Chain A
Amino acid sequence: MAGSVALVLIAALVGWAALPERHSWTAVDQRLTVLSGPSGTEPIDLDTRLYLPSGDGDVPAVLLGHGFGGSKESVSDDAESLADRGYAVLTWTARGFGRSGGEIHLDSPDYEVKDAQRLLDWLATQPRVRTDADGDPRVGVVGGSYGGALALLLAAQDPRVDAIVPLITWNDLGKAFFPQSANGVTAPGVFKKNWAGLFFGSGSGPLGAGGGPSPLTGGAGEAPVAPVANPACGRFAADVCAAYLKMATTGIPDAATTALLQRSSPAPVLNKIKAPTLLIQGAVDTLFPLSEADANAKGIAATGTPVRVAWFTGGHDGGSGPQTDQDRTKFLTAQWLDHYVKKDGATPATSFTYSRVAGFSALDRGLVTNGYSDPTYPGLTGTGRAEVTVSGDAQQIANPPNGNPGALSSLPGVGGQLSSLLGSVAGDLAGQHAEFDSAPVTDAIEVVGAPTVRLRAASPTGSATLFVKLYDVDPNGTATLSGGLIAPVRLTGLPTDVSAAQPVTVTLPAIVRRIDAGHTVRVTVATSDQAFLTPPDPATYTVAVEPAVSLPTAAGTPIANPQVVWRYVLLGVLAVVVAGLVVVLAVRHRRLRRHEAPTVDEYAETPLVVRGLRKAYGDGFVAVERVDFTVERGQVVGLLGPNGAGKTTTLRVLMGLTMPTEGDALVFGHRLEPGSPVLSRVGALVEGPGFLPHLTGLQNLHAYWQATGRPAADARFDEALEIAGLGDSVHRKTKNYSHGMRQRLAIAQAMLGLPELLVLDEPTDGLDPPQIAEMRRVLKRYATDGRAVLVSSHLLAEVEQTCTHAVVVNKGRIVADGPVDDIVGDSPSVQLEVSDVPAAELVLAGLNVRSVTPEGASGLIVDMNGTPRTEVVASLVRAGVGVDRVVPRRRLEDAFLALVGDNSRGSGDR
């Protein structure tokens, strides 16, 4: 039954999950040709898709850009969820990708940004899209990475944009690809060759290979419209291609490259952005770290434009992050757009939210983060600072030629491997790095922001490329590099002797990390890293780190996790269960109260009255057709009948095990039901003994009596044991008992407490003749003190010798009922022993008798048919037949056979 319940449940769940989803929007794919380029006259073919919510009112719009190497398909999930919220969403494949035409100009204001402006024009012409003025659609711009920078640049270039939400994007492409973490050094930093290569690669292949599973950068590319002209450049515009080839070769950007990267960066135009901006940046992002969003936030906020910043545990390295983070950023985005674009909902707070890794999820092995919020955005310097002192002498470290072998800090392009990044793929190579450790910290430090260290370096060549890292080292010595983030510095004008070196402040990448009490902080200075282009010539530098390391901290307020609602659900469920239990108990109590009433006072002194009892089973079998009988005090009543006549079913009803279909049984006037208290005045043995096999006979009796909850003194164990007559065997385990021993113990158990009505089913089963004789005496004696006994049996002699009354049942009905003598007295037969059987038969044939049956050599059984015995004897003697014996047949067997017929089939065979 439980199995079938489970199957039904599973089937229902599968069916529910397989139901088709219902969309609240429709999507239309369209190729739009817009006029773009520096002159605004170059036609460009764009692959677009417009999602329109159902209904016919006008709706605000969202322009949704995709990441580098992606297409309109890679943002379809986000587009659908925005369309579900009631926005017309326009997605398009940027020029140079997928099925759109043109070449990649890296979010150039003359190309990609202008394309987007033309799309705004087009949106304004759509009948369903709400407009602020003629040709000015109500529109927000959302995008990640490449699309995020486009949002910033578009908002700077086009005042029609009402709000923007740029995710994990850059501020200054030059600084992102040539990071320089040494403060006050303006020279370009170290070339981030690995990421740059991945970027270039994802735009140059004919299939536009995606950059990984992240929806912000990845997505399946599609076949380009035109074949690739230059194998070295792929679909990149010639100037972009040339700039890449040059900077990847030398590792230093020339003026043209710098200008190109600057053109594609929001940094110079931030002051033109008037659209409220929500910046979402990832803390596990070695490509565009948190500092990029920080620069954007500062630049936009400087002109008074509302800016909000949120960090999440993910990014170009970390992927879209844990579910809690995705929920939070999704909520923030919706809230921002709803207020500033849809003009719906209160003004969003400008509070800063971020998340910190709390551990691994036990269920899906992913990361779990906790969200925190601060009323204002503190930047990368935190709301407080913790100072840690590191120690270590100046050390010499070697720069490997061509950066090989190189240290490993991150795995660009793998994407989504959050756990491995937060664990430690990081590895430093011997001889190539110097370590400066702190003492174990006494209190946990909540680092939120960019730590700073002061570095002194000496180089024989006067310049050095170094990588500064901050490790969290646990007491077991496991060092963790948060997010795989490192700070590259390229220093020039260095002395050859470290003692002459001026300290340079190095700002490490911003991180969110809790350094637990007992952990140590380790600052490592390394010469190589596989993600960066390092000087090809071998050199040996000397480095030293000033003791003071400054860690920015923030004490954010934990964000109430929406999952907390489940706690209330749990409390609710528990309350419902408890309330349900109380109600059930109360109802039961009341019903029991009402139920104690049905008594019949006229039978209050009658041990047992069975009235019109009928039991039909669910399968239609009728075990008891109709049974009525009474057991009075002092009687030993035999319930007699062939096997299957319904005796046991009747007794089961008497024990409250089975519910009668009709009729009832009254014990001392109380109607019997399962659990009726009056059952406590009934002792029973039905269908054989039932004992705990591992207990001794005596223990079984005690266990049984304990279950009654009645005082031990009332049990009369001694009398019961005497009746059982088991002697020392009473101390043996019942599993070793013979059938008869168990039977006797069961009778003793039924007699415990000397119940007023004793019900015994086949009590002599398994007993030997002396024990049977003893049992007869016991039963007769038992019924003397106003008690009564009901014995069922198919042994006729047994009933005849033991019982005062008998009830004969056949095929579920009573066929005779009354004192044994009365039932037996009706017997019409006589057994004769005569000297001459044939002669006697002749004589008897002349008399009015019903039948004559020979028995043995000289015996005859005569059914007298009312003929007086004297007449029979006289006739025989007159005919000269000697009569040795005349025995009136007083055997119950006859009566029994006469009453039930010689049909040996029981009611079970009907």
Chain B
Amino acid sequence: MSAAATGYRATATMPLLAEVRRQASRRRTQLALGFMALLPVIILLAFEFGGDGDDDNGGGAFASLVDLATSGGLNFALFSIFVSAGFLLVVVVALFCGDTVASEASWGSLRYLLAVPVPRARLLGVKLIVALGYSLLALLTLAGTALLIGTLRYGWHPLGSTVAAEIPAGEGVVRLLAILGYLAVVLLVVAGLAFLLSVLTDAALGAVGGAVLLWILSGILDQITALGSIRDFLPTHYSDAWLGLLSTPMQTDDVVKGAISAVCYATIFWSLAFYRFTRKDITS
């Protein structure tokens, strides 16, 4: 007699699609994705109805991203990404990755999934893949909506930047994708941290908030130049390196270093999460 019930296969439990639907049915998923689509509209309206501002917000050569935002769809998308990259995307990624396990624990449904039984590593793996998928979807939704409405309103023009010559629209799309790709890689750190906290705690808010908090802490430490080369090891240190992709030719040195940093951090966090979750007693 086989060990399992008829029809049960460990590799068939918790199908990806089931988890996708499970998360899609949640209000927070719908709200987060909806906001990602709404934000560019809000920005567009702000540009339409706002008065002319003339303040340099301290971004130096990059402050001009604001001035260029209305020069075309690509620039509008770039601006939308620029203003979201620092905090909003971090929160959204932390939400998707930090909430996924902790919320099941707090509802009590986690123990029933494990008693199905969904193997623990598989449960984490599926949860992680789906959370990352939703994070990526959020990023693409933001960029896609911004590109769409920006193009409809301001037209299809080359990607302008004051740090380099205008980039032809076709190549501009490639640059935009490269920027999104790098942002996605950097946000892996947030995803890793939030996911680890999600495994460690039963409180979803704690996992999401904790990840955002630590990210902010790292950002603050990065502002302290007295820390010298230590700052290179902070997970946020290279988070702005994607701006280098706007120059011609692209400056990829910091991008590469940032990717190394992000991959290392994410690997460590996820390894810890899997190590812990496959060994601990589920007490929720």
Contact = CB atoms under 8 A, between A and B. Distances in A.
Interface of A: 1-3, 5-6, 9-10, 13-14, 16-17, 358-363, 365, 368, 370, 419, 423, 474-476, 516-519, 561, 563, 566-567, 569-570, 573-574, 577, 580, 588, 596, 599, 604, 652, 655-659, 668, 670, 674-682, 684, 686-695, 699, 703-704, 706-711, 714, 749, 753, 755-756
Contacts of B241: 362-363
B46 to A, nearest CB: 24
Contacts of A570: 256, 259-260, 263
Contacts of B120: 674-675
B5 A680 contact: yes
Contact of B114 (A604, A675, A699): A675
B146 to A, nearest CB: 20
A690 B109 contact: yes
B119 interface: yes
B164 A359 contact: yes
B112 A749 contact: yes
B269 interface: yes
Given A677-B8, A708-B8, A17 B60 contact: no
Contacts of A703: 18, 21-22
A490 B115 CA distance: 93
Given A363-B238, A655-B115, A714-B7, A694 B244 contact: no
B267 A577 contact: yes
Pairs of residues from A and B, 5 with the lowest C-beta to C-beta distance, nearest first: A359-B247, A690-B108, A362-B243, A709-B12, A516-B165
Interface in B153-204: 160, 163-166, 193, 196-197, 200
Interface stretch (B37-45, B131-139, B228-236): B228-236
Contacts of B4: 677-678, 680-681
Interface string B204-230: 000000100010010001000001111
Given A707-B13, A708-B8, A708-B13, A679 B113 contact: no
Contacts of B116: 679-680, 704, 707-708
A5 B272 CA distance: 11
Contacts of B21: 703, 706
17 contacts: A1-B200, A2-B214, A2-B272, A360-B247, A361-B244, A363-B254, A516-B248, A570-B256, A658-B281, A676-B3, A689-B108, A690-B109, A690-B110, A693-B107, A703-B21, A707-B15, A755-B5
A49 to B, nearest CB: 26
Contact of A677 (B117, B164, B247): B117
B197 A2 contact: yes
B184 to A, nearest CB: 15
A17 B254 contact: no
Nearest to A515: B165
A598 to B, nearest CB: 11
Most B CB within 10 A of own CB, among A6, A368, A677:
A677
B91 to A, nearest CB: 17
A580 B275 CA distance: 14
Instruction: State the majority secondary structure of interface residues on B.
Output: helix
A675 B10 contact: yes
B25 interface: yes
Interface string B232-275: 01000110111110111101111011011001100101001000
A659 B221 contact: no
Contacts of B246: 359
A574 B8 contact: no
B227 to A, nearest CB: 7
Nearest to A653: B281
B242 A657 contact: no
Nearest to A750: B112
B60 A706 contact: no
A10 B115 CA distance: 40
Contacts of A16: 230
Interface size class of B (residues with CB under 8 A): 35 or more
Interface of B: 1, 3-10, 12-15, 18, 21-22, 25-27, 60-62, 107-121, 160, 163-166, 193, 196-197, 200, 210, 214, 217, 221, 227-230, 233, 237-238, 240-244, 246-249, 251-254, 256-257, 259-260, 263-264, 267, 269, 272, 278, 281-283
Nearest to B284: A690
Contact of A695 (B25, B229, B249): B25
Given A361-B244, A687-B108, A691-B107, 4 more contacts: A368-B247, A675-B10, A675-B119, A707-B13
Contact of A679 (B18, B115, B233, B243): B115
A332 to B, nearest CB: 20
Given A563-B256, A692-B109, A657 B243 contact: no
B63 to A, nearest CB: 11
Given A17-B230, A573-B263, A677-B3, A2 B200 contact: yes
B62 A362 contact: yes
A753 B254 CA distance: 55
A874 to B, nearest CB: 58
Given A17-B229, A708-B13, A360 B60 contact: yes
Contacts of A680: 4-5, 8, 116-117
A707 B107 contact: no
A519 B233 CA distance: 41
Given A659-B281, A692-B22, A692-B25, A707 B114 contact: no
Contacts of B163: 359-360
Given A363-B254, A680-B4, A709-B9, A657 B115 contact: yes
Nearest to B116: A708
Contacts of B13: 707-709
